[in-house]
Structure 1
Amino acid sequence: MKTPNKVIRTDKWRLNPTTDQKILFGETIKVYRQACRYLVGIIYTHWSELGCLTADQLTPAVERLMHQTAKRPDVKYPQFNQAFYKFPSYYRRAAIAFAAGQVSSYVTRYREWQSGTRKRRDTKPPRLNADTGCYPALYKGQCYKLHGFNQVEIKAFNGKDWIWTTVQITELRERHACASNKMMSPSLIFNERYCHLSVPFTCKPEKRKPEANVTAVDLGINTTATIAVVTHSGTVIHREFIHPGKDIDRRDKRLKSVSMRASKTMGKGGKLHKGFCSKTYDKCRRINHQIGHIVSKRIVDIAKEFNSEAIVFENLKGWKPKGGKKRSNLRQRFHGWLKAKIRDFTEMKWAELGGKVVEVVAAYTSKLAYDGSGTVKRNSKKYSLATFSSGKRFNADLNGAYNIGARGVFKLTRRNDGEGRSSKNSGRPPRSWACLCDLWATVSPRLA
């Protein structure tokens, strides 16, 4: 995967508004959304003329329809200035950009529906949704003024006029401290639960000079992530197990309570109502989100510490779990397997540092012994324990991480000298089915 030159990431800057400021922000969001709804109608009416314009051409074209000035006293929709008196120009332009995006999305989806591109034959046509939960984008100097990184001055609506109000910044991340990162226009997020600035940054990763090693990750159920740092010569210089058990127990405890409540609600028969235990499921999703960030951050920290060339994962796309024995909780545990979330979060964090993520064939990574002795036998009572044909007992996840690292090295280096070589009992070419021993085999002839 090619690492992009520019990466956009968003920080959350928490604000601590007073009671009066909360009222101001609430009024600001309310009037901004009203303006967006008004503009959606105007833009959709004239989309045949506006749809072919670029983003830079569209904003002045819409303003010529609804914004009165001294040089342009007559416009087609003078009601906008009457309904939104003294509406700041940069808030207006942000609203135009948002409304144009809504209309463009609707027109595209409607054309696809008309052409027959539908998930189901009876799919209803899309509807133009002008009543969306949007938030205003703030332009520097016109909508907000930053005083260091402790305070921010925001232009807000008090119900009659637009005034400046200063609010404290209580928490922020570190992306603003990086000189190569460029801060873009933030958005004011305010509702019953949150009050913060969503601040996007354009990050330019520095050109890396990595060491000749990869960080291999085996994502499992018994252990969330097993890490092995493997050099190009096949030496394992670091290994680690990551398993935030406390958070996993919190999630599983809540999920178990759902089944108990369901049995009490239904009894021996019946159905559950729509939205049953929805708040509990939402909480579990948030816990999973946190677990994904905790694990991915540690993976990236390890790769950064050893200056790895890449982070290597198994390609598990399209993989579906198989159910266990009757009354087994294996299927439920597979549903809590965060393989995609951890991989995606890791790629996002690692790309910001200029690194790349590599995927390798997942088949037989844990089934083949890393030393080339053939297939391993898993312990029926403790599935994380593997026994090699030589009698050696080893952690199955760690064995898989070693093999994943070896396959990652082969994929990165594109070695052809080991193409015909295979493990002792695997009978497979190492590029797709390689084990750690195949790396040793490619290095030993050179040393000899």
Structure 2
Amino acid sequence: MQTVSSYGVEVRKQNIPIRQTLELYRSAVSCLTEIYEQVWEELEEIPDAKRRFNAAEHLVHTTKKNSARFDFDLRFPKMPSYLRRAAIQHALGSVSSYKTRMDLWTKSGEKTGMPKLVYENHAMPVFYRDVMYREGAEGKEEAYLKLYDGHDWKWFCVRLNHTDMEYLRKNWSGKKASAPILEKRHHKYFLRFSYTEEITLTKTPVKEQIICSVDLGINTDAVCTIMRADGTVLGRKFIDHPSEKDRMYRTLGRIRKFQREHGSAQSRGRWAYTKRLNIELGKKIAGAIVRYAEENYADVIVFEYLEMQGKISGKKKQKLHLWRKRDIQKRCEHQAHRKGMRVSRVCAWNTSRLAYDGSGSVSRDLKNHSLCVFQTGKRYNCDLSASYNIGARYFIRELLKPLPATERSLLEAKVPPVKRRTSSVYADLRELHLQMETLKAA
């Protein structure tokens, strides 16, 4: 399989006309969008995407063998051909999307929510290698970009952030990067490079697999359990970043106080800062999970399946927590695939509510919410018990799936809880493994 990774390198502040180039490119995209909306019926009749693109370019660009219908070349003289083609592609996509949404809206018969074609978009230019972008001398934090200085297109030397370049040399040395895309974040400009890798994921049989089951909790950021198919637990780890969470919760308290005094309309900047803290926390947690799984030679990382549909209800603190869970799973999946590990998800129902030893439902400790009390009176960490159940549900599903129907029915009769996946716990996996060994010996 192919994985695509990207990294943004900050362009350090200096006297280069990036802003003028960006404004010109967006003006070109806006002009082309307006042109193609007028002649879309003519372009729509061309089914082949490449031929449609060529026809669209002939409408705006004059050559020895072609006379353009519109004065695009006069309004944007000497525009590099690769940049012009990128703008054409973006404009065609915008108009095509608008027409499709408009047709769907018309067929639905709705009176409100009419789609609009946005001309003033946030398009970002691509700096194609050799014609728009050139690398600087080896070992130096510099590059050359072709930019518009208000009169003509010229090459400018740009300084790149030292730490970003060190990261690329350390982790991506010898791998070819795609053409960088200009990006603007928090009033800073970045060049985003993309790298494509061919990855072979592990094909270890289920009975020989080692998994890392992960419970993303509230009290503890993540609890990881290394487990074998027979239920043997090889390792456990509690991942927590209390100082980062305290910082984020402190900013939430300040926002609450500010909104009581000034209203919510003026707190956007504070919420943006809090979200950035939340994203950084998610990056740290994801990195720690994948490192622990790699250290223990795990073949699969198992998570709970999070409900992604519908509106997220609850307080903003709860929303931030759910957003972080989604972000952690997404980042873990990408990092795990790069290392050849697979990622799987199981049903989240009752993983924390049921005790891992099969004694039934648990009750939370009122004095310490991270602990729970089993029906036998045993006190145990709730997130650790949940991670056992998550790993057990993965193995129960994967062990039963390839079996013939008669053999599966026989095992389900001997271990009834495995029939209903939402009630399966760690103790059921141990019992299932015992019954499978007995059946095999017979």
Q: TM-score normalised by the shorter chain: which range applies?
A: 0.7 to 0.9
Asked if residue 31 in structure 1 is aligned to residue 15 in structure 2, the reply is no
| Counterpart for residue 405 of structure 2 | none
Specify whether residues 67 and 322 from structure 1 end up closer, same or farther in structure 2 by C-alpha distance, changes over 3 A only.
closer
* Structure 2 unmatched ranges of 5 or more: 402-407
Distance 1:386 1:237 in 2: 23
Distance 2:81 2:303 in 1: 48
State whether residues 7 and 351 of structure 1, in contact with CA within 8 Å, keep that contact through their aligned partners in structure 2.
yes
Asked if residue 310 in structure 1 is aligned to residue 300 in structure 2, the reply is yes
Asked if residue 48 in structure 1 is aligned to residue 37 in structure 2, the reply is no
Asked if residue 215 in structure 1 is aligned to residue 232 in structure 2, the reply is no
Pairing partner for 1:152 from 115, 119, 143 = 143
| Counterpart for residue 390 of structure 2 | 404
Distance 2:90 2:386 in 1: 48
Pairing partner for 2:231 from 208, 231, 234 = 234
Distance 1:53 1:321 in 2: 38
State whether residues 415 and 431 of structure 2, in contact with CA within 8 Å, keep that contact through their aligned partners in structure 1.
no
Distance 1:421 1:363 in 2: 23
Deviations 1:229-267 (A, max 9, x none): 1111111112111222222111111111222223334xx
Q: Shift in Å at residue 163 of structure 1?
A: 0.9
State whether residues 418 and 428 of structure 2, in contact with CA within 8 Å, keep that contact through their aligned partners in structure 1.
no
Q: Shift in Å at residue 331 of structure 1?
A: 5.3
Distance 1:421 1:279 in 2: 59
In the TM superposition, 1:254-293 aligns within 5 A as: 254-265=251-262, 272=263, 275-293=265-283
Deviations 1:144-195 (A, max 9, x none): 1123473221111111111111223221444995589653222122577112
| Counterpart for residue 268 of structure 1 | none
Q: Shift in Å at residue 53 of structure 1?
A: 4.0
Pairing partner for 1:440 from 401, 408, 430 = 430
Structure richer in helix, relative to its length: 2
Specify whether residues 55 and 179 from structure 1 end up closer, same or farther in structure 2 by C-alpha distance, changes over 3 A only.
farther
| Counterpart for residue 413 of structure 1 | 399
3-state secondary structure, aligned to 1:237? strand
In the TM superposition, 1:3-402 aligns within 5 A as: 5-18=1-14, 20-21=15-16, 24-51=17-44, 52-72=46-66, 74-77=67-70, 79-116=71-108, 121-147=110-136, 148=138, 150-170=141-161, 171-172=164-165, 173-174=167-168, 177-178=171-172, 182-190=176-184, 193-208=187-202, 210=204, 212-265=209-262, 272=263, 275-317=265-307, 333-337=317-321, 338-402=324-388
State whether residues 312 and 319 of structure 2, in contact with CA within 8 Å, keep that contact through their aligned partners in structure 1.
no
Partner AA of 1:246 in structure 2: S
Specify whether residues 335 and 75 from structure 1 end up closer, same or farther in structure 2 by C-alpha distance, changes over 3 A only.
closer
| TM-score, normalised with respect to structure 1 | 0.85
3-state secondary structure, aligned to 2:196? strand
Distance 2:129 2:280 in 1: 32
Deviations 1:120-161 (A, max 9, x none): x54231111111121101111111112347322111111111
Q: Calculate the aligned-residue CA RMSD, in Å.
A: 2.8
Distance 1:161 1:321 in 2: 50
State whether residues 322 and 331 of structure 1, in contact with CA within 8 Å, keep that contact through their aligned partners in structure 2.
no
Distance 2:298 2:285 in 1: 17
Specify whether residues 76 and 263 from structure 1 end up closer, same or farther in structure 2 by C-alpha distance, changes over 3 A only.
closer
State whether residues 180 and 204 of structure 1, in contact with CA within 8 Å, keep that contact through their aligned partners in structure 2.
no
Distance 1:392 1:95 in 2: 65
Deviations 1:306-331 (A, max 9, x none): 232222112231699999xxxxxx95
Partner AA of 1:160 in structure 2: H
Matched pairs, number: 420
Partner AA of 2:227 in structure 1: V
3-state secondary structure, aligned to 1:256? helix
Distance 2:312 2:203 in 1: 42
Q: Shift in Å at residue 206 of structure 1?
A: 2.9
State whether residues 310 and 355 of structure 1, in contact with CA within 8 Å, keep that contact through their aligned partners in structure 2.
yes
Distance 2:373 2:310 in 1: 26
Q: Shift in Å at residue 431 of structure 1?
A: 4.2
Distance 2:284 2:120 in 1: 36
Distance 1:139 1:192 in 2: 24
Q: Percent identity?
A: 30
Specify whether residues 345 and 236 from structure 1 end up closer, same or farther in structure 2 by C-alpha distance, changes over 3 A only.
same
3-state secondary structure, aligned to 1:153? strand
